[in-house]
Amino acid sequence: MSPFNLQTCARANILALEPYRCARDDYKDDGTNVLLDANENAYGPSLPKVAVEKASSSATGTKGPEIDVEGLHRYPDPHQHDLKQLLCNLRNTHHHTSKTITPENLFVGVGSDEAIDGLLRCFCVPGRDRILVCPPTYGMYSVSAQVNDVGLVKVPLLPAPTFGIDIDAVTSALSNEKDIKLVYFCSPGNPTGSLLAKEDVKRILEHPTWNGVVVLDEAYIDFSPDGASMAEWVAEWPNLVVLQTLSKAFGLAGIRLGAAFASAPIVRLLNSLKAPYNISSPTSALASYAVSAEGIATMRGNLEKIVAQRNRLIQELPKIKGIGRLRGGTESNFLLYEILNAKGEADNVTALAVYETLAENKGVVVRFRGKEHGCLGCLRITVGTEDEVTRFLSAVEKTLTEIHAKQDGAPADEAKKEAEASGVVA
């Protein structure tokens, strides 16, 4: 077992923090109370009556979430117990433990980024403590560390296409480097798309001397096989935090709802430092509907379509001259592919030219990732709709043909005719 000790790992000032409390922490409103405690505007939201009626009517149909537009002059529920229970229901699969997680194991915030930042503030003393990250990985871990004046230790993932944890290097760093409080892993990885091995995560959790927290970011977990999420594992490991979001598989990036599953003591720390009423009433209503039985069914239907287009990309991209190897995994809604120059070499200059040409001339925006560790010449391609994938495949083939023609010194129009004659992309 881990030597994790919350009292010596967390910052002393956070452990001693008295969280902001409101009267509604003690007296839940049942809809009949006269609420004179929070200095709200009792006359309602400053919206024209017709707008309120229209919004209420469209939001409360027979299918869809019930959003109380007329009640927007009241602060939202500070605890979000019902939403948390729905999220727990979703993740209590018992693939990893017979124990059951409850709302006490859950923090909800403004996207996963709030939890990423909150954990840094809970555990890392500015100017002294550090976090460990494994590039290539999500950039906000490093950004949040810099904002909080927290140092960074980088231990690269194993080479592509595996992109697994370098267990020996990570455990060595935790044994020998001072003041590492948090380890941030991304599974499936971004930009790698690779799922981390459960046994590798367990070995870090079981480190015999390190007193710190393992943060497992599962933003893309619903694109992975059933039972892949380790959210319920926080019931077994007091030093594990699992981050999730409704932005990806649930298609709700616009509402900014993220979650952190953790032991109850860590959740209490996160809740103690968060801003009051940080989840709006519309966000809560939309999120609750998304993780209801009907919402989950819709998500899974969309997931099937995404997987079909992901498989299509995997089948069609290798047929295009200038597309190299798939460098990561396929457990996400994006793919990481090499872009080759005219000589058939993975090349950042060519990849960047393709990225810029697609965006500026073809109206197709992907992500250049060539500067990330182990991602030379790579573009990260999000899986779109059938029409969007068709447009992308056509655009990337034409773009590569034009760029290779310039590199070869051949007339671009002749190269373009050759590509069209090949019939690779319909």
Q: What is the CATH number of the domain that holds 331?
A: 3.90.1150.10
Of 244 and 74, the structure prediction assigns the larger pLDDT to 244
pLDDT of residue 43: 85
pLDDT over 90 at 236, yes or no = yes
> Are 216 and 102 members of one domain?
yes
What are the CA-CA distances from residue 293 to residues 79, 223, 282, 299, 420 (Å)?
22, 18, 19, 10, 47
Taken as a whole, the chain contains a residue count of 426
Grouping H, G, I as helix, E, B as strand and the rest as coil, residue 407 is helix
> Are 58 and 126 members of one domain?
no
Output the CA torsion sign for 382, 383, 385, 390. Answer: positive
What are the CA-CA distances from residue 318 to residues 271, 307, 321, 419 (Å)?
48, 18, 8, 14
Q: How many domains does the chain have?
A: 3
> Are 151 and 163 members of one domain?
yes
| Residue 344 resides in a domain | yes
pLDDT of residue 26: 72
Mean pLDDT confidence for 185-212: 97
Q: How far apart (Å, rounded) are the C-alpha atoms in residues 377 and 359?
A: 17
162 CB contacts (<8 Å, ≥6 apart)?
Answer: 194
Copy the structure tokens of residue 97: 């433990």
pLDDT of residue 71: 86
| Residue 127 resides in a domain | yes
| Residue 262 resides in a domain | yes
pLDDT over 70 at 59, yes or no = no
**How high does pLDDT run on average in the chain?**
92
Output the CA torsion sign for 163, 165, 168, 171. Answer: positive
DSSP string, 230-254: -GGGGGT-TTEEEEEESSSTT--GG
Say if CB 243 and CB 103 are below 8 A apart: no
Does a cis peptide bond (omega within 30 degrees of 0) precede residue 161? yes
Mean pLDDT confidence for 249-265: 97
> Are 337 and 204 members of one domain?
no
pLDDT of residue 422: 44
Element of type H or E holding 55: helix 49-59
> Are 191 and 315 members of one domain?
no
pLDDT over 50 at 289, yes or no = yes
| Residue 146 resides in a domain | yes
> Are 232 and 280 members of one domain?
yes
For 352-385, write each residue's pLDDT tens digit. Answer: 999 999 999 999 999 999 999 999 999 999 999 9
> Are 143 and 200 members of one domain?
yes
> Are 120 and 219 members of one domain?
yes
Domain final residue, candidates 274, 291, 308? 291
37 CB contacts (<8 Å, ≥6 apart)?
Answer: 22, 23, 24
90 closest CA partner among 334, 295, 240: 295
pLDDT over 50 at 173, yes or no = yes
Give the percent of the chain with pLDDT over 90: 80
| Residue 248 resides in a domain | yes
pLDDT over 70 at 56, yes or no = no
pLDDT over 70 at 171, yes or no = yes
> Are 100 and 138 members of one domain?
yes
> Are 375 and 388 members of one domain?
yes
| Residue 1 resides in a domain | no
Stretch among 46-60, 76-90, 109-123, 128-142 having the lowest mean pLDDT: 46-60
> Are 54 and 84 members of one domain?
no
For 65-117, write each residue's pLDDT tens digit. Answer: 778 888 888 899 889 999 999 999 999 999 999 999 999 999 999 999 999 99
Domain final residue, candidates 270, 291, 312? 291
Of 109 and 33, the structure prediction assigns the larger pLDDT to 109
| Residue 156 resides in a domain | yes
CA 386 to chain centre: 23
Structural domain of 163: 6-38+75-291
Prediction pTM value:
0.91
Residue 276 confidence class, pLDDT cut points 50, 70, 90: confident
Copy the structure tokens of residue 222: 């619903």
Domain final residue, candidates 267, 291, 315? 291
> Are 302 and 244 members of one domain?
no
Q: How far apart (Å, rounded) are the C-alpha atoms in residues 51 and 69?
A: 9
Say if CB 357 and CB 190 are below 8 A apart: no
Say if CB 420 and CB 412 are below 8 A apart: no
Instruction: Return the ∠ at Cα 268 (arms to 262 and 274), rounded to 5°.
Output: 105
| Residue 180 resides in a domain | yes
Amino acid 288 reads S
CB atoms near residue 422 (< 10 Å): 13
CB atoms near residue 50 (< 10 Å): 8
